[in-house]
Structure 1
């Protein structure tokens, strides 16, 4: 009987609803790479994901590829290997594309913001003026990399390789695209900061006021009160609501 019903269902002209798969065939989560408008505007459908990301100055993965990598055309094998090696990849080596050591552990002094604790500047030594200047041909000049940032060595090495291979325009456009992404991220961050925080409604204020009138500052008693707290709000939730209520009243 079941087989006959299945045959009749297959012959029916009623369209079947198929759920969209959120996973790929290998089980990985399907990601919409064109979700960002900037990436969608600069996307080339004739190129692969890795080729598009490499052209835009991005990377598709942090771990270095274990297999072969597509080499650019028109360059020799040595330059191609260095161009395809991404500075953002995590590898076992600690050398930059120009052959210098990537990380040289050392102790430095930092200046932090007393309120937020964020690092404002890095002091390479005890005397900041001496660290920022070096002596060249008997004259003191300002050091180009006073913070000993290894990223500068990576960028310089990659830039020189691109110039030798005749790919300077692509590198410039990639850095410009990354700058646009950073500007978009900063704008979104500023918009989040300017967003108005959630305000307590009038009914919520009345409810918190009743809890305080009956139990004072005893939050545990507020949690156990079945009449005033029928939805069994947690201790942390009630404590947060009471704090917001008091801050608004004191303001």
Structure 2
């Protein structure tokens, strides 16, 4: 038996999903590149917007689910010549297998024989992606942004990774072979080369932080930063770090 409150909900016309409410629910907030937000048309689909910007939404092509353009020029008309004649390659594809066409001149002499195209291995043939009209506005904007905003983001070591690397050093020193075979510490199964690279980077950063703290305002001899010229060179030898610094006041 239906509950009265459930029956009341079914009778309420405001709770019914109409076409207008369904269209509002389908609207998706644009979260792409901010430079393309001004040229993004919310009434069009993602594929149509990408096509208008001269971009491709799918690199491998589209297999289906695309609305056909009724005003588009047929591919056959594009590939035909000025007189509307088919090319020899198109004729070969149209001829059934095992047949051919004999071309003769006005006197009846054989000029050319066109045979049907032989079927090869379909895996050897390259898949042709649908051609898109050249609209370079969107691509140009993104290329200019990428050229002017190139930043090399340095990989930083997290606090947890610092703790694990320090445990490696305390337990094995500079023996990367033993670090590699340590199943308790080397949970991520890093190689010897990866461990060596991470530990050397960690030691260099550790030495930099120590040197910056040692010559800061909290040191026994406080010197203004404008009057100090520091030249530091660091050398990593296994787990030992040598820091040489010159101070000129």
TM-score by length of 1: 0.37
Q: Please identify which structure carries the higher helix content.
A: 1
Q: Please identify which structure carries the higher strand content.
A: 2
TM-score by length of 2: 0.37
Larger Rg: 2
